[in-house]
Amino acid sequence: MLLAIDCGNTNTLFAIHDGTQWRAQWRSGTDSTRTADEHAVWLSQLMSLNGFSFDDIKSCVISTVVPQALFNLRNLSRRYFEAEPVIVGETGVNLDIEVRLARPQEAGADRLVNALGARGRYEGALIIIDSGTATTFDVIAEDGAFEGGIIAPGINLSMQALHAAAAKLPRVAIARPQKVIGNDTVSAMQSGVFWGYIDLIDGLVARIKSEYGAPMQVVATGGVVSLFDGASATIDHYDPELTMRGLLEVWKINGGVA
């Protein structure tokens, strides 16, 4: 079985694939100081609850945007699964994707993995929206090449910034308000962040499509993407499995056998 690890700035996702389908997924808060042993204790308990053991894992693929976390994740694979991990972005790891940036090395591992996960499922040119600590809008050409995009603050980051920078504004949970006009501080903050974020998405998608000048499908993924279901006028597909599917493709491209 394959263990796929997607380490983001806020959360880290661990998923098991048996060669045919995804069997289990677990999410933890990203902590770059968490050792391989600490990862193993946490992961072993969750795996056992689902009927898996470390002996079931034969391969590992890792994508991370947190360089400090890579050392411990690599050691987790080597020490507990006796597998040399395939690590997105490292020399010798082939992604089989053309990067049409002025500086191709600046393309984030997570963005390229998403492109791989999308291009085998959706046809034509794509806009991939990944909502996490940052929200990225990535343009994938009809031939599958990565053409660039937009990086904006994530919805959680926006809410945290309001609380941190304004002394009288409380920390509130992100929620979809029933009305745009709030009648108290909490509902006003929730409306401003939620509907402002939806308009950010719809507005930037419209600008990308206008500049690109060709039909495009819009695919959304990420930890808070379910919040947008039915609110955005421009998102065509909600795909929470996009990144994991991309990691599976990376593994296959680099010799993994499904």
Active-site annotation, residues: 110
CA angle 169, 151, 104 (to 5 degrees): 155
Give dist(CA 224, CA 156) in Å, integer: 9
Burial class (CB in 10 A: 0-12, 13-18, 19+), 76: buried
Q: Are 94 and 83 in contact (CB under 8 A)?
A: no
Give dist(CA 24, CA 47) in Å, integer: 8
Residues in the chain, overall count: 258
Give the tokens for residue 163. Answer: 């609380």
Edge to edge, the sheet with strand 216-222 lists 146-153, 134-140, 125-131, 216-222, 237-238
Tokens 């590992």, residue? 60
